[in-house]
Chain A
Amino acid sequence: LSRIGDELYLEPTESGLSLRAVNSSRSGFASFLFAPLFFQLYEPGGAGPEAELFRCKVHMKSFLGIFRSLPSLEKSVGKCLILLKPHASRLVLQLHCKHGVTKTHNLAFQECERLQAVFDTQSCASHLCAPARVLAEAVVHFPLTLAEVTLGAGPGGKISLRNYVEDEAEPSKTMVTELWLAEDEFQSVAVAPGSHITFCLKEFRGLLSFAEASNLPLTIHFDEPGRPVIFTLDDTVLEVHLVLATLSDLDSNSRAPSTNGVSHLPAPADDFADDLESYMAAMETSEGGSERAPSPTFSLHARRPAQSTPEEEEAEEEEEEEGAVPGTPPHKKFRSLFFGSVMTPGRPGLAPTQEVLAEDSEGE
C-alpha cells in the first residue's frame, strides 16, 4: 500500500478491516480486506446496527515504522492490538512482546470519508489469471525505473508484455523489450483478441511482490484502453484489489499499420525484415521516424494523467491534496479526454450513475 500512496485509510466494516490507499494523481487505488477470521478478535465497533463505523487515515510512514523489521517482529511479538476509540485522539497500536514487554504506539489520525474507487470486474472484457511467480518472472526483464508497461493479447493466444515508450522519447534511441508468455502458463485466459492496455508498472510491482510472498494467483481484469485495469488476489481471509488507470488509445489511427488497438509487433518469428541495404543507401537523407499525433502521456509525476480515473467519492478533506478532481490540466486535450470517458454512453455493466466530479464549465 505504501507503494501507492502516502496515507493509509483504515475502514472497519462488518465483513472485515479494509486497508486502502490512493495515489496523489488519483490514478491508482488499492484495498486489502482482511476478513474477521483473519484476526483473533475483531470488533468493528459502532454503537448499534445503524451506526456508521468509524474511519480514519494515518500517515503511511508512521504506520510502517511500527512494523519496521519483520524478522525481529516475528521473533519477539506475540500479539498486536489495534484500537480506535471514537473520541480518542490517537489510533493505538500495541505490540505485546516476549518477556512481558509491551510497546504502545499512538498514531495521530484524521477522520475521513469512505475511500472507494468505482470499478466492476464483471464489466471487463478480458480476464487473465496466473501464478504470481510467472508474472514476477515476466516483469524481471524490465528495468526497475520503467514507468509503464503494455500488456497485450497477441496471435496464437500468447500474452505479451512490452515496455511503453512515451512519444516524446526518440524511438530511435529507446530500447524496446517485449516478452511473450504462452497461454498455458496462465491458469485461465479469457481475453478479447488483439486487446491491449498500458498501465503503471511501478505500482503493479508492489502488488506482485505481495502476491509472490503469499503465493497467491493473481487475476487481471481489463477492458478497453482508458478504462481501469483491476488486479485481484483472493484468499480465504483476504481480498485484495488494485485498480490502475490505463492509457487511452487516442493515437490508434495514426499508428501504422495497426488499428483498433491491435499490437503492432508480431508474435516472435525468425524472419523479420533486415533489409539494411536500402537503409544504407538512404542514409544521407534524414530518417523518417514514425509520425504520430501527439497523444497525452501517462505520467504520474508533474503532468495530469490523461486517462479515465476510477470514479471516487471523496470528502472535503481530500481537497487539500492534489485535488479530489484533476485540478487544472495543462492542456485542454487532457481535460476533454477525461470528461469524454466519463460521458461514454452506457455500456453493459457500467454503473448507471457516473459521478462527475467537476462540471465542465465551458459546456463542451
Chain B
Amino acid sequence: MRFRAKIVDLACLNHFSRIINTIARLAKTCILRLTVCKLYFILSDKVANGGASMWCELSQGNFFNEFQMEGVAAEHNEIYLELVPENLSRALKTSQSAKAVKIKLTNKHCPCLRVAVELPSLSSSSRIVTHDIPVGVIPRRMWNDFREPSVPDFDVSIYLPVLKTMKSVVERMKNLSNFIVIEANLSGEMNLKIETDLVSVTTHFKDLGNPPWASEDGCQSSAQGRDLESMAEACIDIKKLQQLLAGQQVNPTKVLCNIVRKRIVHFILLHEEVSLQYFIPAIA
C-alpha cells in the first residue's frame, strides 16, 4: 500500500487547500478514499455526526502533477484512511507560496500522511516544512460502510439562491432558533422559516429554477403529476446548514437542493473539478 502525490502549480494548490478547508468545516473526522483517478472525502451518517453525511469527489488529475497509488491489493486498488481534515487544512494553510507540496503515506511510529512543503527562501536551499498527520488505515472489511450514498427519492429538487445571500439569512436566523424549515416547490420557490415562542421569520425566494432530472424509465417524471405549487418541507438543524453555507470558499457553479418531505435534505454543490454532496436529516 503506497501513496505519493505532488502539487507544483500554485493555483491547483490554492484550490485544493480551499476544498480541504471546506471539508474541515463540515467534519471533525472523515474518511479519505484514494483510487487511481479520484480522491473522495467521506463522512458517513453516524449518530456522532448528528446524522449528517458527506460525499466529496475530486479528480486527482485536476490538482496533482504526480499521483501514484497502490491499494491494499491488486483487485482492491484503493486506500481508505481516517483523518482529521483540520490537520490537513493547517498543513496547507501556510503553503500559499510554496514551490512544491508533496504528500506521502508513511509509517514511522504510526501511519501518517506526511505533507512536505518546499518554500522559497533567500538562502541557497529551500526551506522544508513537514507535517506528519496521523491517519487511521481502514481495513477492507469495513469499506462497505463508506459507499456512495444514492440520491434519495426526492419530492422537490430546486436550485439554491445565491449562497452568499442564503448564508447571511441563515446566520441571522441562527441567533433566533436552533431549527430551520426549508421548503420548496417545483415552481422555483423556496422559503426558509424559523419559528419560536417569540418570533417567526420567513424569507421567500422565487424564480430559482428547478433542475431537470431524467427519470429512469424515460417516461415523464413522477413530478409532472404533482402539483407544482405544493411545498415539500423539512425541518433541520440550523447549525449544520450554516456550516455548509459558511464553509464554501469558492462559488460553486451549481447548487442543487433535493428535499424529501420530513425526511432528509440533500445538497449537491458542483464546481468544475469537484462535487460535494451533503445530507442533513430532518428532525422529527
Most buried by B among A173, A181, A272, A274: A274
Q: Which residue from chain B places its CB closest to the CB of A172 in the assembled complex?
A: B110
B128 lies within 8 A of chain A by Cβ: yes
Q: Which of A143-181 contact B (CB under 8 A)?
A: 143, 171-181
Contact B129 A179 (CB under 8 A): yes
B130 touches A268 (CB 8 A): yes
A-binding segment of B36-44, B87-95, B267-275: B87-95
**Interface segment out of the listed A85-93, A283-291, A307-315, A353-361:** A283-291
Chain A residues lying within 8 Å of B130, measured Cβ to Cβ, are 177-179, 268
Bound-state CA distance A275–B3 (Å) is 11
Q: Across the interface, do A279 and B109 meet the contact criterion of CB distance under 8 Å?
A: no
Which residues of chain B have C-beta atoms less than 8 A from A172's C-beta?
109-110, 134
B104 an interface residue at 8 Å Cβ cutoff? yes
State in angstroms the CA–CA spacing of A140 and B133 once bound together.
18
Taking CB as reference atom, which chain B residue is nearest A174? B134
Q: Is B215 part of the contact surface with A, judged by Cβ < 8 Å? A: no
Q: Which of B1, B94, B110 meets A141, CB within 8 Å?
A: B94
Tell whether A175 pairs with B105 under 8 Å between CB atoms, given A268-B128, A279-B111: no
The verdict on B106 contacting chain A, using a C-beta distance below 8 Å, is yes
The one of B72, B109, B127, B139 in contact with A171, judged by C-beta atoms closer than 8 angstroms, is B109
Bound together, the chains give a CA A171 to CA B109 distance in angstroms of: 8
CB <8 Å contact, B132 and A175: yes
Contact B137 A276 (CB under 8 A): yes
Q: Which of B1, B109, B124 contacts A276 (CB 8 A)?
A: B1
Min CB distance, A186 to chain B, in Å?
9
CB-defined contacts of B134 to chain A, threshold 8 Å: 171-175
A183 CB to closest chain B CB, in angstroms? 8
Tell me, in angstroms, the Cα distance from A175 to B121 when the chains sit together.
24
Question: Please, which residues of chain A bring their CB within 8 A of the CB of B110?
Answer: 171-172, 287, 289
Kindly state whether residue A273 has any CB partner on chain B within 8 Å. yes
Point out the residue from B114, B128, B133 that lies within 8 Å of A272, measured CB to CB. B114
Mark out the residues of chain B between 76 and 133 whose CB falls within 8 Å of any chain A CB in the assembled complex: 84, 87, 90-91, 94, 104-111, 114, 116, 121-125, 127-133
B126 CB, min distance to chain A CBs, angstroms: 8
Say whether A184 faces chain B, with CB atoms less than 8 Å apart.
yes
A318 close to B (CB within 8 Å):
no
Q: Is residue A235 contacting chain B, with contact meaning CB distance below 8 A?
A: no
- Evaluate contact between A276 and B122: CB separation under 8 angstroms: no
B contact residues around A268 at 8 Å (CB): 116, 128, 130
Q: Which of A177, A181, A273, A283 contacts B131 (CB 8 A)?
A: A177
Shortest CB-to-CB span from A139 to chain B, Å, is 10
Q: Does A41 contact B (CB under 8 A)?
A: no
| Residues A179 and B128 in contact, CB atoms below 8 Å apart | yes
Within 8 Å of chain A (Cβ to Cβ): is B2? yes
Q: A73: CB under 8 A from chain B?
A: no
The reply on A182 being an interface residue by CB < 8 A is yes
User: Is A175 within 8 A of B90, CB to CB?
Assistant: yes
Could you tell me the distance between the alpha carbons of A172 and B108 in the complex, rounded to whole angstroms?
A: 11
The interface residues of chain A lying within 8 Å CB-to-CB of B87 are 175
Q: Of the candidates B111, B114, B128, which one forms a contact with A180 in the assembled complex, judged by CB atoms under 8 Å apart? A: B128
Task: Report if A302 contacts B (CB, 8 A).
Answer: no
Residues in chain A near residue B137, CB distance under 8 A: 276, 279-280, 283
Quick check: B107 and A276 within 8 Å, CB to CB? yes
Q: Is there a chain B Cβ closer than 8 Å to A362's Cβ?
A: no
B154 to chain A, nearest CB (A): 39
| A316 beta carbon closer than 8 Å to chain B | no
In-complex Cβ contact of B107 among A137, A178, A181, A275 (8 A): A275
A320 interface residue, CB < 8 Å from B? no
Contacts of A74 in B (CB 8 A): none
Assembly CA distance A334 to B104 (angstroms): 40
The reply to whether A177 and B129 contact each other, CB–CB distance below 8 Å, is: yes
Find the B residue at minimum CB distance from A143. Answer: B90
**Docked complex: A253-284 residues within 8 A CB-CB of B:** 268, 272-277, 279-280, 283
A274 and B106 contact, Cβ closer than 8 Å, known pairs A141-B129, A172-B134, A175-B133: yes
* Contact residue among B104, B121, B129, B133 (Cβ-Cβ distance under 8 Å from A274): B104
- In the docked arrangement, what's the CA distance between A185 and B125, Å? 9
Q: Which one of A141, A173, A276 lies within 8 Å of B105 (CB-CB)?
A: A276
A117 and B84 CA atoms in complex are apart in Å by 43
In the complex, which of the residues A137, A140, A141, A181 has the most CB atoms of chain B within 10 Å of its own CB atom? A141
Q: Which residues of B contact A173 (CB under 8 A)?
A: 134
User: CB < 8 Å: which of A175, A180, A272, A290 contacts B127?
Assistant: A180
Residues in A with CB closer than 8 Å to B123 are: 182, 184-185
Given A174-B134, A268-B116, A283-B139, the answer on whether A181 and B109 have CB atoms closer than 8 Å is no
Chain B residues near A276: list those with CB within 8 A.
1-2, 105, 107, 111, 137
Contacts of B129 in A (CB 8 A): 141, 177-180
**B108 partner residues in chain A, CB cutoff 8 A:** 272-273
Quick one: which of A33-76 are within 8 Å of B by CB? Answer: none
State whether A273 and B139 are in contact (beta carbons under 8 Å apart), knowing that A141-B129, A176-B132, A185-B123 are contacts in the complex. no
**Complexed CA–CA distance, A279 and B108 (Å):** 10
Closest to B135 in A: A172
A290–B108 CA distance with the chains assembled, in angstroms: 11
User: Given A141-B129, A177-B130, A179-B127, are A280 and B122 also a contact pair (CB < 8 Å)?
Assistant: no
- Can you give 11 contacting A-B residue pairs, CB < 8 Å? A138-B127, A177-B91, A179-B130, A182-B123, A184-B123, A185-B121, A273-B106, A276-B107, A277-B1, A280-B137, A289-B110
Q: Which 10 A-B pairs have the closest CB atoms?
A: A172-B110, A184-B123, A176-B132, A276-B1, A268-B128, A182-B125, A274-B106, A185-B123, A175-B87, A179-B129
Q: List residues of B whose CB falls within 8 A of some A CB.
A: 1-2, 72, 84, 87, 90-91, 94, 104-111, 114, 116, 121-125, 127-134, 137, 139
